[in-house]
Structure 1
Amino acid sequence: MKKNSNTVEEAVVPTTIAVIDIGATFIRMLIAEKRDTKEAYILEKTVQSVPIGRDIIASRRISNATVEQCAQILKSFRKLLDEYGIPLESVTAVATPTLNMADNSAVFLDRLANTSHIAFRLLDPGQIGYYYHLAFRRLGKGKGGSNHDKGEAVVLEIGGLTCSMLCRKEGEIRFVQTYSLGSLRMRQQMEQGDFRPQQLIALADGRTHEIAEQLRNNVDDIKSFKLFLMGREMRFAGARLRPSPNNAVELDPTAGVISVTVDELSALLKQIENSSTEEIVREWRVSYADAELIAPALSIAISAARAVSIKSVYISSLSFCHGLLEEAVDGTLWTNTMRKHVLRVARATGRKYQHDVNHAEQVAKLSLQLFDLLQEEHGCTQRHRLILEVAALLHDIGAFVSANSHHIHTMYLIRNTEFAGLSSEEIELIAVVARYHRKSMPKASHPEYAALSPEDRLVVSKLAAILRVADALDRVHDQSLGKIKFKLSETSLVCIPSRRVATSAEQVALSEKGDLFEVMYGRHCYLYDPE
């Protein structure tokens, strides 16, 4: 039926989504409404303190009592999700890398999934930095946040067991690092060493030198960058220094970010040092467990700022959970923001190992042409497309170690490259796809291939088949075939160069390296002479 031109289009119905994260000291859930503006409007936030980090420090395992406490919290979260009518497929649930420090982390997450029917994804350290990067984008949407994407910025998240640092320049990720330093660890050192509260800064100074050194090495202008502090204790401190009209316990999310001097933080720390834990619980309206961690977190922040001679810092009301929310609201963030960052790292890595840039770019270009041409057959995702592109850009970096068996060296180098935002499983896929750009096809006897899941083995074979053909078409590394077009038939893949050249080297390479393509896609590869 034809629509009347005067008919008013129906408004997009808002959908409700949720993100849940488990850290060392709390479990948190954000419920938000996704509207047609591609922005998330937070409807409800609930946070429950848990002693996961304390258990890990004490015994390297999460106690049965804590497991049960977390299971009950997830039950209450599940009831809230049901009240909002949020289906499980609209829930993003993650656990931070600190849980990996517990020997029973896998069983712990299995128990929570069994209780709540919510599956949790265990993040890698680099992924935390990426989600802080996404959360940082929200600062431009809040009050006073429009200029924070300009220049150099460092985000320092102070957690219970670790600190995560993200360096950004002009809105792009430059550096991500995680340190074994946190408020819980500081508290433990205080208790074990019988330190007085007044000695916290001195204790922190001995632990933050590595952070300061990394800043000096990775920030272009150490005198003018902005330092943003994140973490629950920092949000408590922000609320005390800049109280909201409703006297909120944590920094008001509508504030986005506030600016405070390091002297203000120091004065606040001194107030805490002169107060009992019971007084902090009463005055700050926080739990006893949270009250014990505010002073250690502040000492880390103050020590890090002073180590690089910063006089003022910013405290953000956001967390990496808001980054999860950004990704859940707008799926294109992964394909656009992630791709841009990962490719920048890949190209920098290629230059570091002195690969042939023009050859790498040509192989990547041809790989993507073939990937897109065969989309209906391989059924791979945009995530797999990025994995192929990175593998193509880096397939020859192993020659930096040795020309002999350079595909094996390539695999090792990629495995040891940090791609903030990618999981260890995704980095392994890149490494293994690049490993099979030459020599043998994948075999069950190869440990790197055998260790993959059946699904990932299939992905490796599909992508490596494409990479081998693309590499063969620039066998002599001179792009002499010009622009190449591809033509598919039922039994063949015809590669058509734009100009006639001596194609013997590429033809031989194609007959050798087209073996996996023929197995996976049922087509023999030919090089067509345009003359």
Structure 2
Amino acid sequence: MDDDSEVVSFIDIGTSSIHILVVRFFKDSMGTPIFQDKENVRLGQNLFKHGNIDKETIEKTRIVVSNFVKISKNLGAKKIIAYATCAARETSNRKELLDAMKVEGVDVKIISGFEEARLIRLGVFGPDGPFQKSLEIDIGGGSTEIVLCKGKECLFSDSLSLGCIRLANGFDQDHNKAITFSEYDYLRRHVDMMSYRTCRKIREIGFERAYGSSGTMIALAKICAAKRDGDDSYMMYYELVEVMKELYTKGVEERKDVLGMTPSRADIIVSGGAIAEELMYLLGIDRIEITDKGMKQGMEIDYMLSNGYTNFDVKESSVLNLAKRCQYDQAHAETVQRNALLLFDKMKEEGIHNMDNEMRMLLSYAATLHDIGEFISYPKHHLHSYIIILNSYLLGFDNEELKLMALMTKFHHGNFPSKGSKQFKDMDKKETSDLLKCAMILKISDILDRRRNSAIDWIEMCISEHDVVLNIGSESDINMEMWKLKTLNEEFETVFGLGLKVKLA
């Protein structure tokens, strides 16, 4: 492993669950997660009824924190940063809780609701913030953090005493059973009472997009998605209204059978849903985007900022981190990337394609990652690369971008697919065409460095009547490369509508 790397562990001790994120930081790049997990301790289960955390729950918390610290150290973490939030803030036996969590020399710090909101903002939007004026709602176990920002500027922030565990246990209601409409309406009216000043201020400022994070939002979105197309990256208000009618009229065991339900949340989903539904109603949110980013990612970014890190090109950094973890051949990858971008630009100048800069960047990243499958084995390495990228959860990329990069790497070696391949059944003609063009450019670029010796000195391009002509300059023997390129003529013509001719200058 890279001697310049550093491993840091981040532990988020929430009212509902305890999360851990262990990150390896490579020199001159952002961190890459190497481990994450969570345990549903329910720290606030009795807090909102009795005002303190019971001894049994404190012991469970101690065990989980202790195990997470051991895992962190086994993974090489030299620094462990642990923050506790709402339950730790409000319990009357705070010292007893902190003493129990002080294991292996780790000092757990209790942070304010506003600091929690700031870290969530960093985790969801990154250090540069959103391009549009955006609202973020994070429904936790004991509190709900709301942030409105644009770019790096925080326009409004608040921490509300509203949480799925607080509401489920703070009233004379049994959420293990079905509740009546009037009981559910009481929850919504309580949310209204606790949040109306905040919502009024947000409406005055205005926003363009809304985002939801936390387990509650993710769980609700999964149920809504299961009733339509399965896409849980967003949730509509009208969907949530119908889902909540179904959920609050069922007992906890019946709720577990609802399509898309996260069983461990069946007892707190009604209270969490009441918060989400009422806030969306009060704020006029028809659609809310769902993210799995949150406080622990914010802790990571905050650590980087506090240690002088300024280069936050999230996509490039996450690509390089994955490449390094897979022990890629850096010199070969950089040569292939250089060749690919050169060909992309020259072909665009000649009017051979009209792809935009986004496709150019995806091609660049695919070139960096095209051979990472060799980490598993060289035979079928292009398939291994495809699987690794598709399942890598690279920071900064959406699912569609990951799919395009993965397919480019898949097609850079071996048989090239036809436009009618079933692999493209969910893509439109333009997207399929652009993908195949980038994959062909990557395939040519890889062949040009087949012996991994950067033998190509320069490449010129021109168009004859029916062909793209590549004039290749090299002082080395590149007969193998030239022969291999000539075998691509038929596939190249299918993709670009022109033949391919290669000449040694």
Matched, 1:164 2:155: no
Aligned match of 1:100: 89
Please, which of 302, 306, 329 is the counterpart of residue 304 of structure 2? 329
1:401-450: CA deviations, max 9, x gaps?
A: xxxxxxxxxxxxxxxxxxxxxxxxxxxxxxxxxxxxxxxxxxxxxxxxxx
Aligned match of 1:175: 156
Q: CA–CA distance in 2 between the matches of 1:263 and 1:139?
A: 33
Aligned match of 1:277: 252
Q: Report the Cα offset of residue 272 of structure 1.
A: 2.3
Q: CA–CA distance in 2 between the matches of 1:31 and 1:272?
A: 35
Please, which of 237, 253, 258 is the counterpart of residue 262 of structure 1? 237
Please, which of 11, 17, 27 is the counterpart of residue 18 of structure 2? 27
Q: CA–CA distance in 1 between the matches of 2:85 and 2:247?
A: 29
Q: Report the Cα offset of residue 221 of structure 1.
A: 4.8
Please, which of 6, 13, 33 is the counterpart of residue 4 of structure 2? 13
Q: CA–CA distance in 2 between the matches of 1:209 and 1:333?
A: 42
Aligned match of 1:235: 218
Please, which of 7, 18, 36 is the counterpart of residue 45 of structure 1? 36
Q: Report the Cα offset of residue 22 of structure 1.
A: 0.9
Q: Report the Cα offset of residue 282 of structure 1.
A: 5.8
Matched, 1:206 2:206: no
Segment drifting more, 224-233 vs 152-161: 224-233
Aligned match of 1:217: 201
Q: Report the Cα offset of residue 20 of structure 1.
A: 0.3
Aligned match of 2:119: 131
Matched, 1:319 2:307: no
Aligned match of 2:367: none
Q: CA–CA distance in 2 between the matches of 1:43 and 1:238?
A: 27
Q: CA–CA distance in 1 between the matches of 2:224 and 2:272?
A: 15
What amino acid maps onto 1:28 in structure 2?
Answer: H
C-alpha change, 1:123 and 1:76, in structure 2 (3 Å) is same
After TM superposition, the structure 1 = structure 2 runs for residues 445-524 of structure 1, keeping only pairs within 5 Å, are none
What amino acid maps onto 2:221 in structure 1?
Answer: G
Q: How many residues get paired?
A: 305
Q: CA–CA distance in 2 between the matches of 1:130 and 1:54?
A: 25
C-alpha change, 1:48 and 1:135, in structure 2 (3 Å) is same
Alpha-carbon RMSD across the aligned residues, in angstroms, is 3.2
Normalised TM-score (structure 1):
0.52
1:105-139: CA deviations, max 9, x gaps?
A: 122111211x3431101101221121122113339
What amino acid maps onto 1:267 in structure 2?
Answer: E
Q: CA–CA distance in 2 between the matches of 1:96 and 1:206?
A: 22
Aligned match of 2:279: 304
CA contact (8 A) 1:266 1:302 kept: yes
Aligned match of 1:423: none
- Unpaired stretches in structure 2, ≥5 consecutive residues: 313-505
Aligned match of 2:471: none
SS in 2 for 1:44: strand
SS in 2 for 1:272: helix
1:58-101: CA deviations, max 9, x gaps?
A: 221111111111111122213312321222xx211111143121
What amino acid maps onto 1:73 in structure 2?
Answer: V
Q: CA–CA distance in 1 between the matches of 2:148 and 2:308?
A: 19
Please, which of 151, 156, 164 is the counterpart of residue 132 of structure 2? 151
Q: CA–CA distance in 2 between the matches of 1:226 and 1:211?
A: 19
Q: CA–CA distance in 1 between the matches of 2:31 and 2:224?
A: 27
C-alpha change, 1:209 and 1:168, in structure 2 (3 Å) is farther
What amino acid maps onto 2:85 in structure 1?
Answer: T
SS in 2 for 1:30: strand
C-alpha change, 1:193 and 1:233, in structure 2 (3 Å) is closer
Q: Report the Cα offset of residue 15 of structure 1.
A: 2.3
Q: CA–CA distance in 2 between the matches of 1:54 and 1:16?
A: 33
C-alpha change, 1:219 and 1:34, in structure 2 (3 Å) is farther
CA contact (8 A) 1:190 1:196 kept: no
What amino acid maps onto 2:210 in structure 1?
Answer: L
Normalised TM-score (structure 2):
0.54
C-alpha change, 1:227 and 1:322, in structure 2 (3 Å) is same
1:325-345: CA deviations, max 9, x gaps?
A: 1122343579999xxxxxxxx
What amino acid maps onto 2:273 in structure 1?
Answer: L
After TM superposition, the structure 1 = structure 2 runs for residues 50-65 of structure 1, keeping only pairs within 5 Å, are 50-65=41-56
C-alpha change, 1:197 and 1:295, in structure 2 (3 Å) is farther
C-alpha change, 1:333 and 1:209, in structure 2 (3 Å) is farther
Please, which of 66, 90, 95 is the counterpart of residue 57 of structure 2? 66
Q: Report the Cα offset of residue 103 of structure 1.
A: 1.1
C-alpha change, 1:110 and 1:282, in structure 2 (3 Å) is farther
CA contact (8 A) 1:15 1:34 kept: yes
What amino acid maps onto 2:116 in structure 1?
Answer: I
Q: Report the Cα offset of residue 150 of structure 1.
A: 2.4
Q: Report the Cα offset of residue 225 of structure 1.
A: 3.1
Aligned match of 2:100: 111
What amino acid maps onto 1:216 in structure 2?
Answer: R
C-alpha change, 1:105 and 1:120, in structure 2 (3 Å) is same
SS in 2 for 1:79: helix
Q: CA–CA distance in 2 between the matches of 1:212 and 1:327?
A: 31
Q: CA–CA distance in 1 between the matches of 2:49 and 2:310?
A: 41
What amino acid maps onto 2:126 in structure 1?
Answer: R
What amino acid maps onto 1:211 in structure 2?
Answer: S
C-alpha change, 1:63 and 1:18, in structure 2 (3 Å) is same
Matched, 1:84 2:75: yes
What amino acid maps onto 2:70 in structure 1?
Answer: K
Q: CA–CA distance in 2 between the matches of 1:121 and 1:189?
A: 26
Q: CA–CA distance in 2 between the matches of 1:58 and 1:16?
A: 40
1:150-186: CA deviations, max 9, x gaps?
A: 2322222112222121121333112221222221232
What amino acid maps onto 2:50 in structure 1?
Answer: S
Q: CA–CA distance in 2 between the matches of 1:260 and 1:139?
A: 25
Q: CA–CA distance in 2 between the matches of 1:193 and 1:291?
A: 12
